[in-house]
A and B are shown apart, each in its own frame.
Chain A
Amino acid sequence: MTSIEEYGKYETAWCPGCGNFGILNSLKKALVACGLAPHQVLLVSGIGQAAKTPHYLKTNVFNGLHGRSLPAAIGAKLANPGLTVIAESGDGCMYGEGGNHFLAALRRNLNLTILAHDNRVYGLTKGQASPTSEQGFVTKTQPHGAFAAPFNPVAVAVTMGASFVARGYAGMPEHLAGLIAQAIKHRGTALVDIMQPCVSFNKVNTYKWYKEHCYELGDAHDPADHAQALRAALEFGERIPLGVIYKIEKPLFEEQFAVLKNGPPARQEVSQEALRQVMQHYV
């Protein structure tokens, strides 16, 4: 059994009171709940405050470029499908700079987990509007308020038929740990969009605001029902539902590659006989 201590404790570069602390604790709990040892896990992140998370627990880490956590995670998973791969980054990284990768990843459905710390602002670059910022969100770079309509990642994912879509909240760490554990165990690409207060730059979507708006989906919600899931996903105003919104079974992307059935490619040598036969094509 793995204990939470094995995942270590680090000093962070986060502001006191930041929602990221809750997410980090939930992630550790979920990994322990899944029975995963640190070396079995690879966290892949981009750049931002959220993207620093992998540095604050003991696992394998690939901290890549802003916006590019998903392609790096996909490459790693295809190179070693035995790894538990988790792509973790902020809303700007995942949905803005990396938006194209987000859509493509949902279409592929590899067996990996996406954790998006959605503070609805660019934290690391000091408070510009993000793709999920509310309309009218005033910042130094949007002095008249953000004009563009916010991106609803959960609704987009459900619309695209992603195989696991959930929304969690950093202020409910037990509930969130449960969602992350389910996402890790899910066979397919699992998105957990995590509402995250940013105490420094988002004075609108505060702990108080989330407390007033968020509620837990009850048993009446059937995550296998696409119409219900879409309705829940689109409910994003006065009330915001938390929980597993959509969950279906879909074929795994990596299963199309026969070569991956023989273990990680890293350990497979070049077959001289196969190469000799390949050359025969050109005679």
Chain B
Amino acid sequence: MPLDIHLLIGGEAGQGLVTIGQLLSKALVRAGYEVFVSQSYHSRIRGGHNTFAIRLGEGPFFAPRESIDILVALNAETVELHRGQLTGQARLIADSAFAPDLPGTISVPFAELGPERLWNTAALALLGQILGLPSDALYQAVEAMLGKKHPEALTENREIMEKSREWAVAHVPQHGFMLPGWTPATARLLLNGNQAIALGALAGGLKFCAFYPMTPATSIVLELITHAEAMGCVLEQAEDEIAAINMAIGASFAGAISMVATSGGGFALMAEGVSLAAMTETPVLIAVAQRPGPATGMPTRTEQGDLEFVLHAGHGEYPRAIFAPGSIEACYQLTQKALAMAERSQSPVFLLTDQFLADSSRPVAPFDPAAIVPVRAGDEPDAVPTPYQRYRLTENGLSPRLLPGLSTHLVVADSDEHDEDGHISEDHGVRVAMVEKRLRKLDILKQEVIAPSLDGGKGADLLLVCWGSSQGPVLEAAAVLRGQGSSVASLHFSQVWPLVPPQFIDILQGAKEVVCVEGNATGQFARLIQREAGFAIPGRIARYDGLPFTARYILKRLESLAAVEVRA
């Protein structure tokens, strides 16, 4: 068995568990280990039960695990909530004040080690010792974090780390979670989905982003703001989501490659703007980070419930593309692709992610800045036929897009139905010509659709179909089953619209059994496949409790699906 340790830190918001988790995961990545970091939190700033989970070892890991090998309980509630998940060999690290009488418990007298505000650093040092990390590696991580802002705090942190380490050497009994070897590895980036989206956007030439804060999309914007000046990007917090999308469209019209980022509720307010982008043929990228709805729903939890909404939002008929990355790398690559496709098709393009992917981190190989394909907004003024017409009728539906003020040509864009000049028209012939022109652009999107990725080969006994963030857990579940000798494959869609059935219909038809795994209650993607490809996927695994898929969840559901079949 490859090394696979699941460590969970639990406590109240404000206890510093995120700091411990981040420092530890950074140190592990620098040391060459694989990690998969996921966070779970309540929609509040202080209190509540929050966890920071690190799956670490030889991986790579693409999904969280349910059972726990090392539990760090910063409060008594954590013990109560998670003791049921502990594996046989598990270690539980807790303050002596509330440490339970369970086998494997390491009861730590934190009060003897130092003042309470430093207990998170103490816990970090204990963990380092338990995992066998050299103390320097962790101290360097602490130094990197505190060094610039709080150099005065370094000494006391160093002291408590030293004391905690010594305490662990003296008091922690032998266990099976020592990491082998410690060889500094080539530099990798530790990124969560939203960070990768922000990097992808900057690489894709993003120049403008307007937003109204909404979890779990806000962290995309936070990341963009961190790098805005270096990358020459303008960010503006709008007064509401309606303003945000209209600003982005105005900016894009004037030549700035633009995006907005929001979640379902904010996106609902943007719907008319989507339609405006389509009618004025203005490129815009709309990133929707899903969380469970309806209405405010569960702000800090995950779901894949807005597929049909994003597919249909905005009145009228027009083409769009929807990308749904399933990995950190795909977040980076597909955001660039989505920006490029928006420019190319002069249309609204979507990036559909969710809280799970947004908050999950994994180390990835550094992206190559030299590999980016530069996207340029608009066409060259010298190359357009005169007199210039913004909506000139063409064979492929694309009209020359000039940018206002950057040449002497006048650019006229209109949300009313318009003639080729861009002026309001109520002529029915013009209407028909313009509807058809806009719809012709669907072919441009179709030509570049990303085919779903098949893992495990054609003709398997069982094919697991999934889209977006479910990719990691599905890959793991399929690998487990294959390890047990079953014939299992998975088919992941990282673009969910438009669909091009010839790309995948034979894969669906070739499998003995097909099961669609998606994070919503009604099977939205399975329904879309049926509508577009005429293939009814017989099996379905749904999750809509607000939590992400895990391999274990999928395997259990597969067992009960099989049981149903045996009975039938």
Q: Distance (Å) between the CB of A41 and the closest chain B CB?
A: 8
Contact: A272 with B406, CB < 8 Å? no
Question: Contact mask A68-83 → B, CB, 8 Å, 1/0?
Answer: 1011111111111011
Chain A residues within an 8 Å CB radius of B324: none
CB closest residue in chain B, given A264? B255
Contact: A78 with B243, CB < 8 Å? no
Given A79-B255, A268-B232, check contact A64 B406 (CB 8 Å).
no
Chain A residues within an 8 Å CB radius of B407: 39
Contact: B232 with A265, CB < 8 Å? yes
Measured CA separation A108–B255 after assembly (Å): 22
Q: Distance (Å) between the CB of B408 and the closest chain A CB?
A: 5
B68 at the interface (CB under 8 A from A): no
Chain A residues within an 8 Å CB radius of B370: 272
Given A266-B403, A270-B231, check contact A283 B188 (CB 8 Å).
yes
Contact: A76 with B253, CB < 8 Å? yes
CB closest residue in chain B, given A84? B405
Contact: A80 with B405, CB < 8 Å? yes
Q: Distance (Å) between the CB of A126 and the closest chain B CB?
A: 16
Q: Distance (Å) between the CB of A88 and the closest chain B CB?
A: 14
Measured CA separation A61–B402 after assembly (Å): 12
A55 at the interface (CB under 8 A from B): yes
A100 at the interface (CB under 8 A from B): yes
Question: Contact mask A256-273 → B, CB, 8 Å, 1/0?
Answer: 011110101111111111
Q: Mark the stretch among A16-24, A204-212, A216-224, A274-282 that contacts chain B.
A: A274-282
Chain B residues within an 8 Å CB radius of A266: 207, 254-256, 377-378, 403, 406
Question: Contact mask B171-204 → A, CB, 8 Å, 1/0?
Answer: 0000000000000000111110001000100111
Contact: B404 with A42, CB < 8 Å? yes
Measured CA separation A104–B239 after assembly (Å): 6
Chain A residues within an 8 Å CB radius of B374: 269-270
CB closest residue in chain A, given B276? A65
22 A-B residue pairs with Cβ-Cβ distance under 8 Å, sorted by A, are A40-B405, A47-B415, A55-B423, A62-B404, A63-B412, A63-B414, A64-B249, A71-B210, A72-B246, A75-B247, A75-B250, A75-B253, A75-B258, A100-B239, A100-B243, A104-B239, A259-B234, A264-B405, A265-B207, A265-B232, A266-B207, A270-B203
* Complex interface residues of chain A between 79 and 126 (CB less than 8 A to chain B): 79-80, 82-83, 100-101, 103-104
Partner of B208, one of A40, A70, A78, A269: A78
A-B contact count (CB 8 A): 219
Contact: A44 with B250, CB < 8 Å? yes
Chain B residues within an 8 Å CB radius of A73: 250
Contact: B424 with A79, CB < 8 Å? no
* Additional A-B contact list (10), CB under 8 Å, known A39-B407, A76-B251, A265-B256: A61-B413, A64-B249, A72-B253, A75-B246, A78-B251, A78-B256, A266-B406, A267-B255, A268-B232, A283-B187
Chain A residues within an 8 Å CB radius of B214: none
Measured CA separation A235–B193 after assembly (Å): 56
* Complex interface residues of chain B between 361 and 386 (CB less than 8 A to chain A): 366-367, 369-370, 372, 374, 377-378
B262 at the interface (CB under 8 A from A): no
Chain A residues within an 8 Å CB radius of B372: 270, 272, 275
Interface residues of A (CB under 8 A from B): 13, 37-40, 42, 44, 47, 52, 55, 58-65, 67-68, 70-80, 82-83, 100-101, 103-104, 257-260, 262, 264-279, 281-283
Chain B residues within an 8 Å CB radius of A72: 246-247, 249-250, 253
Chain B residues within an 8 Å CB radius of A62: 250, 253, 280, 404, 413
B442 at the interface (CB under 8 A from A): no
* Complex interface residues of chain B between 60 and 75 (CB less than 8 A to chain A): none
B416 at the interface (CB under 8 A from A): yes
Chain A residues within an 8 Å CB radius of B255: 79-80, 264-267
Chain B residues within an 8 Å CB radius of A275: 199, 202-203, 231, 369, 372
Given A78-B208, A80-B404, check contact A60 B412 (CB 8 Å).
yes
B422 at the interface (CB under 8 A from A): yes
CB closest residue in chain A, given B408? A39
Measured CA separation A20–B412 after assembly (Å): 20
Question: Contact mask B275-301 → A, CB, 8 Å, 1/0?
Answer: 010001000000000000000000000
Contact: A79 with B256, CB < 8 Å? yes
Given A78-B208, A268-B232, A277-B230, check contact A42 B251 (CB 8 Å).
no
Q: Distance (Å) between the CB of B354 and the closest chain A CB?
A: 21
Chain B residues within an 8 Å CB radius of A276: 369
Contact: A270 with B205, CB < 8 Å? yes
Q: Distance (Å) between the CB of A124 and the closest chain B CB?
A: 11
Chain B residues within an 8 Å CB radius of A44: 250
Measured CA separation A276–B368 after assembly (Å): 8
Chain A residues within an 8 Å CB radius of B205: 269-270
Contact: B203 with A64, CB < 8 Å? no
Contact: A278 with B230, CB < 8 Å? yes
Measured CA separation A257–B416 after assembly (Å): 33
Given A76-B253, A79-B252, check contact A63 B416 (CB 8 Å).
yes
Contact: A79 with B251, CB < 8 Å? yes
Chain B residues within an 8 Å CB radius of A60: 404-405, 410-412
Q: Mark the stretch among B128-136, B221-229, B455-463, B478-486 that contacts chain A.
A: B221-229
B236 at the interface (CB under 8 A from A): yes
B439 at the interface (CB under 8 A from A): no
Given A39-B408, A55-B424, check contact A71 B246 (CB 8 Å).
yes
Contact: B405 with A265, CB < 8 Å? no
Q: Distance (Å) between the CB of B331 and the closest chain A CB?
A: 13
Chain A residues within an 8 Å CB radius of B227: 278, 281
B273 at the interface (CB under 8 A from A): yes
Contact: B250 with A83, CB < 8 Å? no
Chain B residues within an 8 Å CB radius of A79: 207-208, 234, 250-256, 258
Given A60-B405, A64-B249, A282-B195, check contact A80 B202 (CB 8 Å).
no
Measured CA separation A61–B195 after assembly (Å): 36
